[in-house]
């Protein structure tokens, strides 16, 4: 939930089924949305949410995917984690 405490440009992306972006705009606020070269993917794992987060959550997931792909973990961006076992939506950015 957005609180407005961070001021102009505070945002959150809700991924999964609905996929929407919320942004707080105030007078004289400029927001830029820039495309990046990436591809979207998702993985369904036979884990509970508790297991996912007790095993390192987003960070460990990104590290493991990067290791499998042979790329730096900074190129992996987890955009959503939700139940259904555990489903992780993520993007892999180009070099």
Give the model confidence (pLDDT) of 34-72 as tens digits. Answer: 887 888 899 999 999 999 999 999 999 999 999 999 999
Question: Is residue 7's pLDDT more than 80?
Answer: no
For residues 69 and 92, membership in a common domain is answered with yes
For residues 47 and 89, membership in a common domain is answered with yes
Is the whole-model pTM more than 0.75? no
Question: Is residue 86's pLDDT more than 70?
Answer: yes
For residues 63 and 91, membership in a common domain is answered with yes
For residues 53 and 14, membership in a common domain is answered with no
For residues 48 and 68, membership in a common domain is answered with yes
Dihedral of CA 27/28/29/30: which sign? positive
Domain of 87 in residue numbering reads as 36-95
Angle, CA of 40, 18 and 32, to the nearest 5°: 65
For residues 15 and 49, membership in a common domain is answered with no
For residues 16 and 30, membership in a common domain is answered with yes
Angstrom distance (rounded) from CA 81 to CA 14: 10
For residues 1 and 27, membership in a common domain is answered with yes
Domain count within the chain: 2
For residues 8 and 27, membership in a common domain is answered with yes
Q: Scanning the structure block, which residue is given the tokens 């900074």?
A: 74
């Amino acid at each position: 939930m957005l609180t407005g405490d961070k001021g102009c440009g505070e945002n959150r992306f809700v991924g999964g089924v609905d996929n929407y972006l919320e942004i707080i705009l105030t007078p004289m606020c400029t927001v830029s949305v820039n495309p990046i070269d990436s591809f979207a993917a998702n993985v369904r794992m036979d884990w509970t949410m508790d297991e996912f987060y007790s095993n390192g959550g987003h960070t460990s997931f990104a590290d493991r995917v990067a290791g499998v792909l042979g790329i730096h973990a900074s190129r992996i961006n987890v955009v959503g984690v939700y139940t259904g076992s555990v489903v992780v939506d993520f993007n892999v950015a180009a070099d």
